[in-house]
């Protein structure tokens, strides 16, 4: 009798293993250099789209001491990444299950004891994120504005960096600075661009062309296109209402553009443009 029970348990365990998709852990950052280009809005909604496409997704708010994801979702986290940085918690223990396939690690806001992030601490963070790769298909990092050493250090360790920029020359210049500083640091991370808040496709094409030509000409670096997202007043309305845009407006033009972006990410990994090896 005991033997039969054991066999049944073993069968169930094997079945569960079969069902569990192998997490291939692709780590993708959303950065910009310039503030306010739409990194948090796009990373949050793309994470949601990827999860709805059947992927297991973890979104980590890495905007140091200026976290926004919990505010966009109207959530009050019990623990934040600060607990990890102060070595009070393992990264894994900070995960909030928002939906079965969409998890978050929230950031911190305005804490006086927020530690300076040394290379050592960032490497430790990268190691812990790498550990989580086994459990997820995509780990999305929402990076803060700026191009300081700690940001460039993180961007050098992800599988793909998506630069979110607008069509203004200031945003294009700051996006170029990110590519340049990554290049100078010896980073091998492939860079992609998404043009956000644009008023026409031509405007987006011109912005992408300016960035990619400058990177090619001065740095011999390629910046791949991941399309564009139009300017949409409903985005601000959703943020004001602290609602997840794409869930609230599933059929809008912007939601379709976000879904296209998520499909583009999946395709780039499939085509082998982005390696899915360890961090
Ligand atoms: N496609 C869009 N259309 C219209 N407004 C947008 C769009 N995307 C983002 N915004 C607006 O831009 C502002 C900044 O968005 P968000 O906070 O996502 O930017 P960010 O790059 O994460 O900023 P930060 O650099 O401060 O982290 C918000 O007010 C948001 O409503
Ligand atoms: Mg942000």
Q: How many Å apart are CA 253 and CA 99, to the nearest integer?
A: 24
Measured in degrees and rounded to the nearest 5, phi and psi for residue 18 equal -60, -40
Which amino acid residue places its CA nearest to atom 23 of ligand 1? 36
Q: How does DSSP assign 48-87, residue by residue?
A: HHHHHTT--EEEEEESTTB--HHHHTT---SS-HHHHHTT
What separation in Å is there between the alpha carbon of 14 and the centre of ligand 1?
45
Which amino acid residue places its CA nearest to atom 30 of ligand 1? 236
To 5 degrees, how large is the angle CA 165–CA 133–CA 227?
A: 25
Instruction: Give the per-residue pLDDT at 250.
Output: 93
Q: Which atom of ligand 1 is nearest to the CA of 196?
A: 1
Instruction: Give the per-residue pLDDT at 214.
Output: 98
187-210 core/surface letters (b: 16 or more CB in 10 A; e: else): bebbbbbbbbbbeeeebbeebbeb
Residue 254 has pLDDT above 90, yes or no: yes
Q: Which of 196, 235, 254 has most ligand 1 atoms within 8 Å of CB, for mutation?
A: 235
Q: How many Å apart are CA 17 and CA 33, to the nearest integer?
A: 42
Instruction: Give the per-residue pLDDT at 11.
Output: 52
pTM of the predicted model over 0.85: yes
All residues at 6 or more sequence positions from 43 whose CB lies less than 8 Å from its CB, including other chains: 30, 59, 69, 140, 141, 142
pLDDT per position as a tens digit, 179-204: 999 999 999 999 999 999 999 999 99
Instruction: Give the per-residue pLDDT at 7.
Output: 53
Tokens 């300081």 locate to: 148
All domains of the chain, ordered by start, with CATH?
Answer: 24-270 (3.40.50.300)
pLDDT per position as a tens digit, 50-89: 999 999 999 999 988 888 899 999 999 999 999 999 889 9
Give residues (CB < 6 A) around ligand 1.
Answer: 32, 35-41, 63, 68, 144-145, 196-197, 229, 231-232, 235-236, 239, 254
Residue 93 has pLDDT above 60, yes or no: yes
pLDDT per position as a tens digit, 15-48: 444 443 445 789 999 999 999 999 999 999 999 9
């Amino acid at each position: 009798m005991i033997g039969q029970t054991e066999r049944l348990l073993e069968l169930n365990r094997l079945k569960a293993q079969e069902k569990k998709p192998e997490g291939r852990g692709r780590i993708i950052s959303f950065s910009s250099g310039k503030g306010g280009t739409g990194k948090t809005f796009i990373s949050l909604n793309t994470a949601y789209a990827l999860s709805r496409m059947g992927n297991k997704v973890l979104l980590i708010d890495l905007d140091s001491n200026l976290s926004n994801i919990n505010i966009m979702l109207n959530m009050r986290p019990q623990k934040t990444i600060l607990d990890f940085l102060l070595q009070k918690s393992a990264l894994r223990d900070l995960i909030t299950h928002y939906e079965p396939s969409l998890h978050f690690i929230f950031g911190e806001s305005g804490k006086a004891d927020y530690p300076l992030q040394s290379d050592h601490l960032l490497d430790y963070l990268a190691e812990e994120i790498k550990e989580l790769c086994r459990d997820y298909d995509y780990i999305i990092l929402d990076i803060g504005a700026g191009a300081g050493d700690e940001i460039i250090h993180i961007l050098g360790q992800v599988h793909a960096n998506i630069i979110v920029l607008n069509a203004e020359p200031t945003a294009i210049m700051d996006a170029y600075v990110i590519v340049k500083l990554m290049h100078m640091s010896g980073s091998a991370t492939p860079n992609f661009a998404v043009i956000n808040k644009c008023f026409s496709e031509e405007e987006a094409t011109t912005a992408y062309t300016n960035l990619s030509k400058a990177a090619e000409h001065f740095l011999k670096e390629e910046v791949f296109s991941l399309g564009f997202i139009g300017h949409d007043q409903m985005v601000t309305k959703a943020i004001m209402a602290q609602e997840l845009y794409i869930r609230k407006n599933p059929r809008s033009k912007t939601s379709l553009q976000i879904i296209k972006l998520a499909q583009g990410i999946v395709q780039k990994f499939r085509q082998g443009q982005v390696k899915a090896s360890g961090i």
